Amino acid sequence: MTEAAAPDPYLWLEDVTGEDALDWVRARNAETAAELTGSERFDTIRTRLREVLDADDRIPYPRRRGEFLYNFWQDATHPRGLWRRTTLAEYRTGAPVWTVLLDVDALVEREDENWVWKGAAVLKPDYHLALVELSRGGADATVVREFDLRGGEFVADGFVLPEAKTRVNWIDADQIYVGTDFGEDSLTTSGYPRVVKQWRRGTPLAEAEVVFEGKPDDVSVYAYHDFTPGFERDFVGRFPDFFSSEKFLRTPSGDLVRVDVPDDATADIHREWLLVSLRSDWTVDGTTFRSGSLLATRFDDFLAGGRDLVALFEPDERTSLSGYSWTRNHLLLNELSDVKTRLEVLTPGPDGWTRGELPGAPEVGSAEVIDTDPDHSDEYLLNVSGYLQPSTLLRGEVGGEVELLRQAPAFFDAEGMAVEQHFAVSDDGTRVPYFVVAGQDTSGPTLLYGYGGFEISLTPGYSGGLGRGWLEHGGTYVVANIRGGGEYGPAWHRAALRENRPRAYEDFAAVARDLVARGITTPERLGAQGGSNGGLLAGVMLTRYPELFGAVVSQVPLLDLRRYHLLLAGASWMAEWGNPDDPDDWSYLKEFSPYHNVSDAAKYPPVFFVTSTRDDRVHPGHARKMAAKMIDLGFTPRYYENIEGGHGAAADNAQRAHMSAIVYEFLLRTLG
């Protein structure tokens, strides 16, 4: 019998709410709580983290919807949160009067349901109706309910959808696009909508019209209406895998017209413009545009066959495009140069596109455009922060002055601390950047954090919890920008894709060695931490590079690469790692799957697995089975599973403070 076909003795732990599995979880939780909670240090850290999370002087980040700024707010009095709104004039006062639209805590009490806020889609252009999404316990699956913003209550006999991984978007006040669990064959193998329908108010959902269908092995499908005045249009599409898509213009007659860009490119339509973000090189009419470029053309001309494409951004070996945002008349680019932010503003005109600098980016830190008003104005909201720089919220209008709206407080004493960037050399000679946040004395413990997947970049940002839970205790904090991420664009991601995945792990190990070579730390004082895909990274560090670390924390992790594609949303990630059912793919996956490489012959550093029962994205069975297997092999892993919280492993600030404090206590106790 092959290893791939061998029975899994811990399969019973995949039964998420099975009594035997939950009894095992409760026993492990009790052991970990007895060891790591209750001390004066743990209680102090948890209390001080909760103070950060509940602080009244945090920035209430707003999103503009018409004349109002909307915000979702959680604090000690409102642990489940308030959905509220105010005006810009009020917001500028520093102590705005908020109109509460929905008190989730009151809803929890009134309905005796464990509701967690998951967002709302507000109907344009009047913004008087919303489709509110609520989760039980923080899972990705949500219940959708229509809400009247004028009366501050749910709409009687309004649009309501039962719990599922649903996609909904407004068409007009009486119609919505719905992708949900309609019954048999309506979901993909990843558990997301395969069918999208147009549902009219007052009619049964069963009678809604099918407007688009994907394939069973797609990741998901979608449909939305573009409300831009003068450019009202409808689009549908599918995601065959995590990094490819097809997009169609849905005409008034219901015909579908393909937006014919490469499958792995992203097409974005704004007013008369089509933007194309490239993940691979694209040759058009004899011109080759590089992977990572952003191209522009007029949308109607492109549909008619024109290919007059202009490159608005082209990467080089040090720069990448992190994101972009439209205002009414301008395009804002967020670029990274060696993982440091650079902002540009581009303006289309009769003689082509002009460009200039958008002020606000810090020298060492990050700046992110968090909101714009593309239908009506050139307003933008910019959040600026760094590892030692508390967040600042700026408001500007392109071409005008930049206004300071909010300054977050400093939650920890950064006196004597500094941020440095270094480069490690990986096994194949690639230079890998990483940031070190430390005081003058680095003799204390060091924590190395990484992710390295899905083209996600780790950029500098302020964390009061990190400061209070780690830096103030003499800890050094390191972030590794390893391959698999997006710090240097799609090529940086592609370099660690599928069979090349070990490059990400080699990069992380190279940073660990470089920290020791520079005298910043020693293996005994160095911890590794990661969550989700980063939890897999931490698991590989444990099983492949145990000699480099004194402790490992693996949070909401993927660890069993033989069965990940069969669990919850796992099938959607096969483009990232591979298909375990394909013998060629399994031949490389089995080499680094932590669950299949843990051995009683090895010597491992102390390890802590953290997950959530309500995580319906990454199955808690990964962490459960890995811990159980290690216990049976004679090891003593720590394990803690929060009953709530979804993929974030916490549903409110009290849980967030507790979960963070228990991890910091483990690391300080193990590495200190």
pLDDT digits (tens, 9 = 90+) for 588-631: 999 999 999 999 999 999 999 999 998 889 999 999 999 999 99
Which pLDDT score, from 0 to 100, does residue 645 have? 73
Which pLDDT score, from 0 to 100, does residue 5 have? 56
Give the model confidence (pLDDT) of 529-540 as tens digits: 999 999 999 999
446 vs 441, 506, 535, 551, 553, CA distance in Å? 11, 19, 18, 10, 13
Which pLDDT score, from 0 to 100, does residue 364 have? 74
Give the model confidence (pLDDT) of 174-204 as tens digits: 999 999 999 999 999 999 999 999 999 999 9
Question: Tokens in use for 228?
Answer: 């831009």
Give the model confidence (pLDDT) of 538-549 as tens digits: 999 999 999 999
Compute the average pLDDT of residues 8-34: 97
**pLDDT above 60 for 460:** yes
Which pLDDT score, from 0 to 100, does residue 612 have? 94
Give the model confidence (pLDDT) of 407-459 as tens digits: 999 999 999 999 999 999 999 999 999 999 999 999 999 999 999 999 999 99
Which pLDDT score, from 0 to 100, does residue 650 have? 74
Compute the average pLDDT of residues 625-645: 95
Greater model confidence, 499 or 363: 499
Give the whole-angstrom CA distance, residue 435 versus residue 437.
7
Which pLDDT score, from 0 to 100, does residue 6 have? 73
**pLDDT above 60 for 473:** yes
Which pLDDT score, from 0 to 100, does residue 255 have? 95
188 touches 218 (CB < 8 A): yes
What region does 568 belong to: left with phi over 0, alpha with psi -120 to 50, or beta?
Answer: left
Which pLDDT score, from 0 to 100, does residue 335 have? 96
Instruction: Tell me how many degrees the CA angle 223-226-231 measures, rounded to the nearest 5.
Output: 140
Which pLDDT score, from 0 to 100, does residue 411 have? 98
Give the model confidence (pLDDT) of 353-384 as tens digits: 999 999 888 877 899 999 999 999 999 999 99
Output b/e per residue, 434-449; b: 16+ Cβ within 10 A: bbbbbbeebebbbbbb
Percent of the chain whose pLDDT exceeds 90: 95
486 touches 435 (CB < 8 A): no
Compute the average pLDDT of residues 465-481: 98
Give the whole-angstrom CA distance, residue 469 versus residue 43.
11
Output b/e per residue, 566-582; b: 16+ Cβ within 10 A: ebbbbbbbbbbbbebee
486 touches 456 (CB < 8 A): yes
Compute the average pLDDT of residues 159-170: 97
Question: Tokens in use for 199?
Answer: 């549902």
Q: Which residues are catalytic?
A: 532, 647
Compute the average pLDDT of residues 546-560: 98
Which pLDDT score, from 0 to 100, does residue 2 have? 40
Question: Tokens in use for 369?
Answer: 């455009």
Q: pTM value?
A: 0.95
Which pLDDT score, from 0 to 100, does residue 1 have? 32
Compute the average pLDDT of residues 304-309: 97
124 vs 169, 172, 234, 268, 390, CA distance in Å? 11, 8, 14, 19, 34
Give the whole-angstrom CA distance, residue 483 versus residue 485.
5
**pLDDT above 70 for 515:** yes
The mean pLDDT of the chain is 96
In this prediction, residue 39 has a pLDDT band, given cuts at 50, 70 and 90, of very high
**pLDDT above 70 for 471:** yes
Pick the closest to residue 213 from 199, 194, 190 (CA basis).
194
Which pLDDT score, from 0 to 100, does residue 651 have? 77
Question: Tokens in use for 267?
Answer: 């097409």
Compute the average pLDDT of residues 560-586: 96
Which pLDDT score, from 0 to 100, does residue 437 have? 98
DSSP bridge pairs for 116: 135
